[in-house]
């Protein structure tokens, strides 16, 4: 007995569904990898994505700046930092500079070990200049005769 021809004769059944299923599985796999990368970069202890991170065996020294006026700019080793409490690698030499809008400044070079509190005392730096008069009449009066 012959059966009447059907639309799906000669074609594998559910081929479109299998293609869609494999595409969904591929998309899910890519999404899982992206989520894993984002998770690794977002971890607080992660060193991925950070430039110049320290090795795990390097100890940190805590530095606290006291007396920094509001709005003053603080820089550590030539780079601006936003905090007055920060950590640096222990046993390393660093340069701190604090300046305010009126031109006063404070500089300190230190060797970091353990915890260190530094008192910032901003000062205006003066330059002494000797002025000699250049008026010809004044020069004639002061010349001995």
The per-residue pLDDT for 76 is: 92
Two tokens, residue 84: 């007055």
Q: Same structural domain for residues 78 and 108? A: yes
Residues 6+ positions from 68 with CB-CB distance below 8 Å: 74, 84, 98, 120
Give 90's Cβ-side CA count (13 Å radius).
Answer: 12
What residue numbers bound the domain in which 36 lies? 17-46
Q: Are residues 66 and 30 in the same domain?
A: no
**DSSP label at residue 121:** -
Residue 51 within any structural domain of the chain: no
Give the residue, 24 or 122, on which the prediction is more confident: 122
Structure confidence at residue 49 (pLDDT): 41
Strands (E) across the chain are located at 60-66, 73-76, 79-81, 85-89, 93-99, 105-111, 115-119
Q: Considering the domain boundaries, does residue 88 fall inside one?
A: yes
pLDDT at position 77 is: 92
**Residues 22-41: pLDDT tens digits?**
777 788 788 888 888 877 77
């Amino acid at each position: 007995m012959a059966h009447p021809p059907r639309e799906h004769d000669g074609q594998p059944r559910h081929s479109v569904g299998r293609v869609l299923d494999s595409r969904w599985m591929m998309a899910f796999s890519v999404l899982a990898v992206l989520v894993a990368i984002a998770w690794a970069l977002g971890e607080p202890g992660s060193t991925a994505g950070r430039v110049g991170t320290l090795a795990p065996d390097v100890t940190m020294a805590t530095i606290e700046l006291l007396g920094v006026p509001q709005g003053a700019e603080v820089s550590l080793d030539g780079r601006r930092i936003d905090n007055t409490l920060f950590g640096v690698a222990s046993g390393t030499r660093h340069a701190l500079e604090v300046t305010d809008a009126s031109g006063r400044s404070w500089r300190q070079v230190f060797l970091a070990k353990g915890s260190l509190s530094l008192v910032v005392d901003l000062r205006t730096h003066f330059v002494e200049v000797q002025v000699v008069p250049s008026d010809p009449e004044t020069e004639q009066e002061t010349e001995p005769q």
